[in-house]
Chain A
Amino acid sequence: MSTSDSSFEPISVHLTITTEDGASELLLLNGAYNQVGQGIGSLSVDVAPGAYHVRQRIGDTEFIEQIDIGADDGPKTLTFKPLDFPSPAPIIGTSTFPKVNAEDWKKPAALVGRTGIRVAIRTPGEMSSPSSISMLKHLRAETERLRIETMDGHLVCDFKDSSESANLEESALFIRDLAVQPGHYVLVQSIDGERQQCLSLIVHPHWSPRIYLICQRNQEVKDSNSYLPVSLDDASIIYWSSESPKSPSQPDLIRLEAARQALASDRSFGGFTGGGVEKAVVREPMLLLLDAYLLLKDMRLSEAPQVLTVINAAAGALSEEFPDVIALRYGFWTALRTKERSQGVPSLEPPKNPGPLSGPPLLAHSWRLLLNCAKTNAELSAIMPSEFFPKASRTWFVWSEKKGARGNNVRAHLGLPSAVQDVQAPEEDDIALRIAQVALVALMETGAVQGWVGQLVKVARRHSGSPGFETLDPILIQLIDGLSAIQNPLLQTAYGREELARRLLLSLSLPTDRLKDLLNMLTTAITKEGLMRGKTSQLIRVFSTYLLQKLGKGDGAPPID
């Protein structure tokens, strides 16, 4: 028999790739497009000689380069230049930050040594030419739609008043610093006379949020002065120490923005804090929150210690009572428990619950996690306004509501001492959800429903392009849309009616005790209008009238299909 040398391995080359920004996602693929390495800011791997592709990426901006590794090459180090990516945050070198305005950001802030909120809204940097007049008009209009309120609805500052004195035409930038006490606040954006969008803000005793917004041109409409409404979900939000203001050129802002854009792009590629967890605790807790969610997604059991380190660091910086920390603790426990069960590992103790939530979380992921826990689900119901609609946001928790919907709901201010106590594990079976689910299944099994849902949808669609359509009750529209979709027999076969009903209810992203009221409203309407007795056209007429009135188109007889 011929012999072999089992210790023999062909030559490999040690490859190190770094980025000057220290924040880009790096992916390394071989010639057959198999991924052979990844990292944030740098990666280091032994590879066989051959051709490789390197992808450097922040958000949707990417740079791809092919590299060749020769068999005779020694250890190889490559350094990539910073990416020219867009960012609402004031980061020098990004494609939307004009150097000419850099000094504006350094003007003395009213928040040195005090807690507060900074809101900045600007045009994208246009290096070669100043912002157009139409863009500046748009900037002013968008600024005037914004205001800050407390969680219980009291006005803190209306930017409409402040913008009149601001010289937007010269600076193309609006900055407002507000000194406020720690607690929950809301950045409100008016949609029209009736509804508004809200972004959750939390002022921490040691950390003040700075919210950076940007006006964008509508890229789909070429050669025109068409602009998009400012998107609250696309804001860069940074926590700055109340004691030490920072320069906008600090590199951890790039990491923070890269992490935010990775989360918004639904990546499961974390590690933006890298070895700098301790540094982030004292300098940038928002990075810890964002990175924790990126790491938590698709977490492997072996990665749990790293994820826990980041969550612990976030708790250390912001406290265990911080709503997003509570959500992360619950999310980590749930993820780990699922994996442990599948791998036969003994179960982890449920997280200690620090007491009632003080207000809504910052992040959309946190909102969804808190809804999954029966205790916090009920608490969110008590915190939020009587009528609100969570938006399908990717990063921040954003909702829409009727003007004046928020009442005196906020229970506590952050930073006040609260006893940490053991509580029972979050419940898996949510009784309120179960009741709503059974009710919805009963509704689906009512033959009449199948007929009128399609008709209602047609009426709604007819007006979908009409101005003011967005003022309609979005929960009602979404519920009717969902009912339409889940009538599909193929889906009913695949998932079963109960599961479809559960999915539809969960997709509303509402605290579960609100679902009962919603279904009661719907079934009452059906009964009242005699739909159960087959009077389909009557309900359609009622609904059409409702739509037309909402749209301000009079009370004339609506068209009936």
Chain B
Amino acid sequence: MANETTDVLIIGTGFGGSIPGYYLAAGGARVIMLERGPRLSSEEFTQSLQVGGYTRILDSIGGTGISVTAGNCVGGSSVTYYAASLRAPSFVFERQGTIGRRIWPASITRSTLDEWYLRAEEALPVSELSWNDVPYAGGVFAAACTRAGHTCQPVPVAVDLTRCTNCNWMANGCLFDAKRSMLLNYIPGAEAHGAEIRPLHEVQAIHRAQTAGYRWAVEYRQLDPNNYNVAVGSGRIEAKIVIIAAGTMGTPVILQRSKKYIGRIPVAVGRHMSANGDRITLAAVNEGKVRDLLGLERAPGVPYDAFPIGKPISSMSFDYLDPNAPEFSRFALQQLFAPPLTNAIFEDGVDGPPVWFGIDKRDLTSRWRSWLTIAAFTEDANEGVFGPPPAAGNFTRIGPAAVGQLRYDIAPETQHGFDLSDEATRSIMTLDGLATLHLVKSTKNIQCAHPLASCRIGDDPATSACDDRHELRGHPGIFVTDASSVPTSLCVNPSLTIAALAERASSILLKRAPLYGVQVSGPVPPP
């Protein structure tokens, strides 16, 4: 039986898949998008911490030295993200990391990317928060920054503020369609132009096509919606163009497994992974000090007591983003809600073992409503490396958890950034006893919510898997447009940069598609 065919086959439906999916479909290409996760409508999202609910769409992947969370549904991580939508600072694009030369392609700077940032901001769209929109936790962080002599500002978010209920359940998917995920813009736009989205289709490998006029064949297996370890079907689709957007944790694995079918793959596939320099700490604030030092009270006699209330991200300080400071010493600090699922990880703050469990830890968690978690986005050294792929899928699933092949041995440069950001957070939050600071101590694994760069773009074939057009080196017609193509950590939340790069790549794809036999017409306006 002949394989199914299409012009463009896209693997993944997050930012990196949905954006080119929209532009190519709107340009007239036949587009099929395969998504390994399920498709949920907003009514199906839950406000619940019950395992088996949110875990349908959110993966927790344990590696060696790293723990990663990533979306697993139609819309990808745009469904589970916290919607902070920031442009990366200019110096990020000039970074040299540990290789001693510019990592990003010469064609991409902050100023050349700004037009694509703007398109993504308008298409999502992104809202600027006023201080009236900043929840209590962001307010305490901002006031603490001010008192410590720092600037701080509201964070732009991809949220419809007229719909937002400040429920703080963003990681579960938004019940109110307030959070602007791909489900509300690019995906419906793509489908309106004929793109077909197939959930629960997990891509295994890419092969060479057998049908004349088609270059690649994508092998997939259909998954049981109640058990992602069980395949209920399989198939192949041949395409003229393949866009891999399976995420930083998926894209390199698919390519590694494809090696025996498509020939040698670039050495940078599965190497140079960045954890975006993510570093989370906990400040347990003293309610009396919030009142006395910061002058805040949200109700009579209640200074704060509001950790679970609000949008999960709302304020941040750019004071440590000095472009003239040495690399690995720059970072942003951001107020960021951590759900109680993560309560285990923080130290109790009392001398002596046990450090993260027992009586003292129980006492600390009894003050949970007075917690304030802070994310630092530092500059890491791209030290993540993927081991050989599993027999099937992107990682091995065990119940709601997964074990991956990623190894992340913290480099001294990365640790230096962590140490500096810890100290900065401490200087702001513990000033005059405002709070006590608690580091992650239950595990040596770094906690990463923003995996990047496992199949990155660049000008140097030795250290980048794709060229500056996002095309996989040595494999014409295969493009990588997701977070794995972002070359370095960004010192801010990465979603808007992923979207901007995907916007830029889409414009290139529209121009190059005819070279691969796909007739499209442009330009295409944003959705």
Partners in one complex: no
Identify the B interface with A (CB < 8 A). Answer: none
Identify the A interface with B (CB < 8 A). Answer: none
